Amino acid sequence: MADQRPAVRPFALRAGAAGSALSRIGRRGLGMLRRTPFPRPTLRGWTVLAVGLGLVGGGLVASMSVAVSAGLLLLVLVVSGVVTALAVAAPLRASRSAPRAIVQVGEVYRERVTLRGSEVRFAPRSTLLVREQLDDLFVSTNEAASLITIGPGAPPAVLDVEALAIQRGRAFVGPVTVRVEDPFGLLRIDRPVVPAEEVVVVPGTTPLAALDTGALVGAVSADEGRVGQGGSADDSELRPYRPGDPIRRVHWGQSAKRGVLHVRQTTQAQPPEAVVALDVRRSSYQQLGRDDLSELSDLGGDQAFEHAVVVAASVARALSARTSRVALVSDGPGGDVRHSGDAGGLSEVLVGLADVQPRSDARELTDVLHEVRGRDVHGMTAVVTGHCSAEEAAELVSTTNGSSRGVLVTVVAPDPVVRGIMGRAGWRVLVVPVPGTTTSGHSR
C-alpha cells in the first residue's frame, strides 16, 4: 500500500532551519549582552547629550524646527555610539594562560592573555585598551596594559604580563578588563573578560650551609631505613659506622669480629620524617631590641618575623632532600595547631608559610609540639624562633620525642646556658641573623 503521508516541502524545511538558527543566535546575543556593562558616557558624551536635549527642548518651546533637528541628530549620534560600543564589547572572548600558580619571592610571574573579537565579517575593526590588574605583592616588570586591534580577519591579540613577586602571601591577579569606546569618543565600556585568579607567593631562601654540613650530619637519609621503628635484628643488614649514627644501632658482636664498628639498618627501608616548628609569637621577635637589630630598629618585630619565615622555608627545603616527609607546625588562630605537609610535599609546607602571621596571643612552641608528639615524628625536629630563653630550651628538650633529632634555629645568638642545655640533649644550634645586622651566625 502506497504511503499516503503528505510530502514535506523544501521551503518549510529551510524556514524551520532558519528559525532555529536565528533562535540560537538570539539567545547567544542576549547572553553576551547580559555579561556586558551598559556604556557610560564620557565627558564629551555628557556634553553632546546635554546639548542635544537642550536643543530639542528649546526648539519645541520656540517652535524652531532647525534646533529640534540638530538636537535629534546629536541624540542619534549618542544612540549609534551605544550600539557600536555594544557590538564591539559583547562578542569579546579572552583567556589567561599561566604556567604556575605558586611563585617564590624574587621570582617573576609570567602569564599570557589572549583576546578574540567578533568573527562576523561586517563587524567593526577597533583598537582597545586591555589591562591586567596586579596585587600589591607584585611589581610589574613590563607594562600590564596595551592597545590591541581586533576585528574580522585579525589574528587573536596577545598581552604578555611579567611581574616580580616582592612579598609572600596570597595574591589575586586580575580581572582582565577591556576598555571599549565608540568611534566618536562619546561612550565607554570597561568590560571584565577574564576573572581574577589566586596566586600564592611563597617565601624565598637564605643560605644554610651550616645546617647542611653540621646539623644534619648523621641524620638518616631518604634511602636508608631505621631499626626500632618496625625493623629487627633478623631482617636487618650491616654497614660501616658513620659519624652521628645512634649508638643503639651498633652491632657489637659483628663490630668486634670485623674490627670496625658496624650498625644495623633494616632491609625494608622506612624513610624518616621531619617537623619544622615556627614560633609565631610576636613577643619572641619584639624582644630582640635595638642592640640586636640596631640597623633595622624593628621594634614591632615584623621584619625579624619575615626573616624567620624565610629561614623556616630554607630549613624545610634542606630537610626535604633528606627525609620522606616534612611537616610545618605553628599555632593557629583560636588555639588550633596549623599542620601543613601531611602528604609529604614540600610545596604544602611553603604554601603554609605563605599564610602564617605573627600574633600577640599565640601559644608557646612547647604547647604546639606537645600536640604533635603523637604523630610519630622520628627524623628531625627543627624549631625556628627569634629568641629562646633557658626555660624555653629546657621545655623544648623535654617535649620532643627521644628518638627525634633536634635543631634550634634562632635569629639572634642564644645565651651560653641555652647552648649548654641544647648540647647536652643532642640538639644542634643554628643562628641565621637578619641581613644588615652585626650578629654573626654559626652552628654548634
Q: What's the pLDDT score for residue 430?
A: 83
Please tell me whether residues 356 and 285 are part of one structural domain.
yes
The answer to whether position 422 is within a domain reads yes
What pLDDT does 334 receive?
Answer: 59
**CATH number for the domain harbouring residue 288:** 3.40.50
Angle at 434 between CA 428 and CA 437, to 5 degrees: 115
What residue type is assigned to position 374 of the chain?
A: G
How confident is the model at residue 228, as a pLDDT? 36
> Does residue 415 sit within a domain?
yes
Supply the pTM of this predicted model.
Answer: 0.70
Residue 325 and residue 423 share a domain: yes
Query: What is the C-alpha to C-alpha distance for residues 285 and 170, in angstroms, rounded to an integer?
Result: 23
Q: Is residue 96 helix, strand or coil?
A: strand
Q: What is the pLDDT of residues 200-215, one digit of tens each?
A: 999 988 777 655 545 5
Last residue of a domain, one of 71, 89, 107: 89
Nearest-angstrom CA–CA distance, 383 and 329: 10
**Cα within 13 Å of Cα(231), Cβ side:** 18
Looking at the fold, whether 37 and 152 belong to one and the same domain comes out as no
Query: Which positions of the chain have pLDDT values less than 70?
Result: 1-35, 120-123, 209-237, 243-246, 248, 265-272, 287-300, 324, 334-344, 371-379, 400-404, 435-444
Kind and range of the H or E run holding 392: helix 390-399
Q: What is the pLDDT of residue 380?
A: 75
In sequence order, the β-bridge partners of residue 407 are: 382, 428
* pLDDT, position 4: 52
pLDDT tens string 139-192: 887 777 888 888 777 788 888 889 899 999 998 888 989 888 888 889 898 888
Which residue do the cell numbers 606537645 mark?
A: 370
At 110, which CATH number? 2.60.40.10
Last residue of a domain, one of 214, 245, 266: 266
C-alpha cell at 387: 629568641
CA distance 229 to 335: 31
Task: Let me know whether 51 and 32 are in one domain.
Answer: yes
Strand partners, 130: 146, 178
CA nearest 212: which of 104, 314, 306?
Answer: 314
User: Strand 157-165 and strand 108-116: pairing?
Assistant: antiparallel
CA distances from 324 to 220, 316, 361 (A): 10, 12, 33
Query: In terms of domains, do 80 and 133 share one?
Result: no
- Residue 136 falls within a domain, yes or no? yes
CA distances from 228 to 223, 254, 265, 403, 406 (A): 17, 19, 10, 10, 19
In terms of domains, do 279 and 393 share one?
Answer: yes
Specify whether 85 is located in the same domain as 98.
no
Query: Would residue 17 count as lying in a domain?
Result: no
Q: Is 215 within the bounds of a domain?
A: no
Phi, psi of 312 (to 5 degrees): -60, -40
Residues 276 and 127 in one domain: no
User: Of 288, 285, 244, nearest to 428 (Cα)?
Assistant: 244
Q: Are residues 192 and 323 in the same domain?
A: no
* Burial (CB count within 10 angstroms: exposed 0-12, middle 13-18, buried 19+), residue 39: buried
pLDDT in the model for residue 244: 59
What value does the CA radius of gyration of the chain take, rounded to a whole number of Å? 35
C-alpha to C-alpha distance for 87 and 215, rounded to whole angstroms: 67
Residue 281, domain member (yes or no): yes
70 occurs within a structural domain: yes
Residues 170 and 244 in one domain: no
Rounded CA gap, 406 and 413, in Å?
Answer: 17
Which residue among 60, 89, 118 closes a domain? 89
Rounded Cα distance between 39 and 31, Å, is 17
**Residue 441 CB partners (closer than 8 Å, separation 6+):** 210, 413, 430, 431, 432, 433
pLDDT at 168: 92
For residues 345 and 375, state if they share a domain.
Answer: yes
81: closest CA among 108, 51, 46? Answer: 46
Residue 38 lies in a domain: yes
The tally of domains found in the chain comes to 4
User: Which of 308, 276, 291 is closest to 435 using CA atoms?
Assistant: 308
Task: Give, in degrees to the nearest 5, the angle at Cα 118 between 113 and 123.
Answer: 135
| 315 and 247 housed in the same domain | no
Domain ranges, residue 151: 93-202
